[in-house]
Amino acid sequence: MASSFSRAFWRSRASLQSFHHPARRATLTTTSHSTHPESSILSALNTRTTKPAKSFPPIPPFPKQPTSTIAKQPSATSTPAAQPPAATEASPPEPSSATPKETSQSIPQLLPLLRSQPPYYIQAHIHGKPYLLTQGDTLRLPFHMSGVAPGDVLRLTRASVLGSRDYALKAGSAPKTEGATAQWVDERLFVCRATVMGVESEPMRVVEKKKQRTRKTKHVKSKMKFTVLRVGELTVRSLEEAGWTEGV
């Protein structure tokens, strides 16, 4: 058995030597797998595995671009297009004959009823801000009114509402047009006077302002001043005192 194994060993070695020899490589033939176990090695070396080629989907054709067409201009003999009508200049609106002092027709009937129910209240406007006041109120304005001194008497003439317990006289709404001014209650129908009591100031406030990546901190000091008013008189005039006549 040992001799048969040695013969097989030397036979396979001789076949390998003949395979590597360049002169005998062309004449070498492989034996069957059942005869020599070493022949499987040779068959594995000779055979080459090839991978199937990948199949890609067909590329769709590019869409055709629409060809540009040039429109023909109308010839000189063609009929001209209809021209739009000439624009006429709009005439400016006629100024209304109404004046701010015109009063409603219901004032002769309702003003005596309003005047017969004191005390009254008024919604006065100072620098565009409304304030609801009555006689004896103290008003602290959120700003410092310049040009006044303590003891001065101011008459408030701009009011949008003047009323009592059951009646109220309201000003007409301003027209929604450009440049229109607000409408107020006729200043001839009431008297509202306020006395300047003095000027108050708030405590000093220090606000720290700091920017990023800056070591310096800025301290801003603020101390606002406010004017204080006291409503000393608020009365509603009669038609005779206001000098009201029908239609004016």
The beta strand positions in 69-146, using DSSP E, are 121-126, 129-134, 138-140
pLDDT band for 246, please (50, 70, 90 cuts): low
Establish how many alpha carbons lie within 13 A of residue 145's alpha carbon, considering only the half-sphere containing its beta carbon. Answer: 19
The beta strand positions in 127-189, using DSSP E, are 129-134, 138-140, 153-155, 159-163, 168-170
The CA angle 168-174-177, to the nearest 5 degrees, is 170
The reported pLDDT for the residue numbered 175 is 64
User: Each residue of 182-221: pLDDT tens digit?
Assistant: 789 999 999 999 999 999 999 999 999 999 999 999 999 9
pLDDT band for 101, please (50, 70, 90 cuts): very low
pTM greater than the 0.85 cutoff: no
Which amino acid would we find at residue 213?
R
The reported pLDDT for the residue numbered 183 is 86
Look at residue 121 and tell me whether its pLDDT is greater than 60: yes
The reported pLDDT for the residue numbered 97 is 38
Radius of gyration (Cα) for the chain, nearest Å? 54
Beta bridge mates, 23: none
Beta bridge mates, 3: none
Of 226, 227, 202, which is closest to residue 151 (Cα–Cα)?
A: 227
The reported pLDDT for the residue numbered 102 is 46
155 to each of 123, 162, 229, 231, how far by Cα in Å? 14, 15, 11, 10
Lowest-confidence region among 12-26, 103-117, 177-191: 12-26
User: Each residue of 123-164: pLDDT tens digit?
Assistant: 999 998 999 999 999 999 999 999 999 999 999 999 999 999
Of 140, 146, 132, 148, which is closest to residue 202 (Cα–Cα)?
A: 140
Question: In a 3-state reduction of DSSP, which class is residue 13?
Answer: helix
